[in-house]
């Protein structure tokens, strides 16, 4: 199957792959980031245009990817706030509303965590989730992140202050046996998989 989605596949899993963010991805990213269903759960609240996206995707210490299936873009994931001194970083992710609930976020997070521990040699990853985002909290708990605490009323969304729940996973807690991935696909083809 040919791949019409721009960017190189950096990490390939069973059903999703993490691709480099390219110029052709900005419409997909902008449209979803500005969608109220995605924006509500993100840390940013204002409108985002293509110029801002270009600027955000040039941060040298960030690792940013489009989550893709064999035939479509489904979301975004990144490692950011990397401290090589302390061996820590944060992850952020979202899946387009029409693609949610299909396991894309679960596999993408697993692939990225495995990469962070194996290749970047990080010791700990964290993720912050707004209290109303129960699906995201369940995904993190299911794959081994531990609830570490609550940042009380730390985000203002839709006229209310909300708590953020902090999750974390340490390298020695991570179960790498649940993740099957290949780094940097060299075939240029991606076989048939269920979406």
Q: pLDDT tens digit string along 147-188?
A: 999 999 998 888 889 999 999 999 999 987 666 544 443 333
137 alpha-carbon distance from chain centroid: 13
Assigned superfamily of 9-183: Gcn5-related N-acetyltransferase (GNAT) (3.40.630.30)
> What beta strand segments (E) does the chain contain?
9-12, 17-20, 63-68, 73-83, 88-95, 124-130, 146-157, 160-170, 182-183
pTM, entire model = 0.85
CA–CA distance, 41 with 45 (Å, rounded to integer): 9
| Model confidence pLDDT, tens digit, residues 84-99 | 999 999 999 999 999 9
């Amino acid at each position: 199957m040919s791949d019409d989605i721009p960017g190189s596949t950096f990490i390939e899993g069973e059903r999703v792959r993490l691709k480099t963010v390219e110029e052709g991805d900005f419409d997909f990213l902008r449209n979803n980031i500005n969608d109220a269903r995605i924006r509500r759960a993100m840390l940013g609240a204002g409108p985002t245009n293509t110029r801002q996206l270009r600027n955000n995707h040039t941060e040298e210490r960030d690792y940013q990817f489009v989550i893709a299936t064999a035939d479509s873009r489904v979301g975004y994931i990144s490692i950011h706030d990397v401290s090589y001194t302390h061996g820590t970083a944060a992850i952020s992710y979202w899946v387009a509303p029409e693609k949610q609930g299909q396991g894309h976020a679960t596999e993408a997070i697993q692939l990225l965590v495995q990469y962070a521990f194996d290749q970047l040699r990080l010791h700990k990853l964290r993720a912050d989730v707004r209290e109303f985002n129960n699906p995201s909290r369940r995904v993190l708990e299911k794959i081994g992140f531990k609830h570490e605490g609550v940042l009380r009323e730390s985000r203002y969304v839709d006229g209310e202050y909300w708590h953020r729940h902090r999750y974390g996973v340490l390298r020695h807690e991570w179960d790498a046996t649940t993740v099957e991935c290949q780094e940097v696909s060299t075939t240029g083809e991606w076989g048939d998989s269920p979406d």
